[in-house]
Amino acid sequence: MQDKKVRKIFNSISFRYDLANFFISLGIERYWRSRFLKMISGCEKKILDACCGTGYSTFGIAGRIKNDGIIYGVDFSSEMLEIARLKSERHLSSAAREQNMIIRFMEGDVTCLDFEDNYFDFITVVFGIRNVKDRKKALEEFYRISSDKSRLLIMEFNYPQNKFIRKIYDFYLAFIMSNLGAIITGNKEAYSYLAESIKNFPDVISFCTLIREAGWKILKVRPMTFALCTIYFAIK
Ligand SMILES: C[S@@+](CC[C@H](N)C(=O)[O-])C[C@H]1O[C@@H](n2cnc3c(N)ncnc32)[C@H](O)[C@@H]1O
């Protein structure tokens, strides 16, 4: 799907995005996010949360950082960022406050970022890379702006390979997720897109190849819950 359409979809569901996520994943998403956060050492200083959306991932990551680092949340949907900035004003995580952690939200396309070479020591992408049209370009851009030995941590959905699980998942995508998403956000098209984007996302092996082709060395691949979601951990 074209970037313009993806942006339009996220702009249209921004105000109910966090709520819809919880319900359509039947709560499992929170567990996946907690597993993801546990893979952050906390010593990182300059962090990019790419495709940060409403900042759900960004605030979670900020809460894990043990020092006074800076975290940039970048997204190309102005409405998703608007929610992130509102949340930032209202309830910036107490952990982030205590550590003088700086959180900045910026509008931008992750395939062409306005940061200098070798700037970041940690890059995260939570349920975002699936939506990026030119994923290779984004992974290369992350490589360019990362310093030597920087880490890349990505979490993304997968379309299950097991035929039995796939049947159940197809039912869930077509009837539960699409309908719940449509009821909560009033936008059925957005949740049909979400289902399609999960089906069209490369399998774990192909996505690992793409990460490697962009220059990264993969350290860990962690599939979760019948491989419905995978965490990819790589180093420059
Ligand atoms: C499913 S949301 C994920 C939000 C957040 N990371 C989270 O944990 O909930 C995906 C986000 O990717 C953004 N996105 C997709 N393609 C992008 C691109 N090329 N550049 C920047 N943001 C992009 C969308 O605007 C959307 O906000």
Residue 154: HSE in the Cβ half-sphere, 13 Å Cα cutoff: 27
**How remote is the CA of residue 42 from the centroid of ligand 1, in Å?**
23
E strand map for 67-216? 70-75, 102-107, 120-126, 146-157
Q: Which atom of ligand 1 is nearest to the CA of 110?
A: 20
Q: Are 236 and 149 in contact (CB under 8 A)?
A: yes
CATH of 3-160+202-235, one of 1.10.510.10, 3.40.50.2300, 3.40.50.150, 3.50.50.60: 3.40.50.150
Q: Which atom of ligand 1 is nearest to the CA of 17?
A: 9
Beta-bridge mates of residue 232: 154, 221
Ligand 1 proximal residues by C-beta, below 6 Å: 3, 6-7, 10, 51-53, 56-57, 75-77, 80, 109-111, 126-128, 131-132
**The pLDDT of residue 113 is above 80:** yes
**Protein residue with its CA nearest to atom 26 in ligand 1:** 53
**The pLDDT of residue 65 is above 60:** yes
Residue for token pair 């062409």 = 112
Name the residue ranges covered by the structural domains of the chain: 3-160+202-235
**Protein residue with its CA nearest to atom 17 in ligand 1:** 132
In whole angstroms, what is the distance from residue 193 CA to residue 97 CA? 37
Q: Are strands 217-224 and 229-235 parallel, antiparallel or unpaired?
A: antiparallel
**Tally of residues, the chain:** 236
For residue 64, which of 90, 104, 33, 32 has the smallest C-alpha distance?
A: 33
Q: State the average pLDDT over residues 47-54.
A: 98
Residue 98's pLDDT band (boundaries 50, 70, 90)? low
**How remote is the CA of residue 164 from the centroid of ligand 1, in Å?**
30
What's the mean per-residue pLDDT of the chain? 92
pTM over cut 0.75: yes
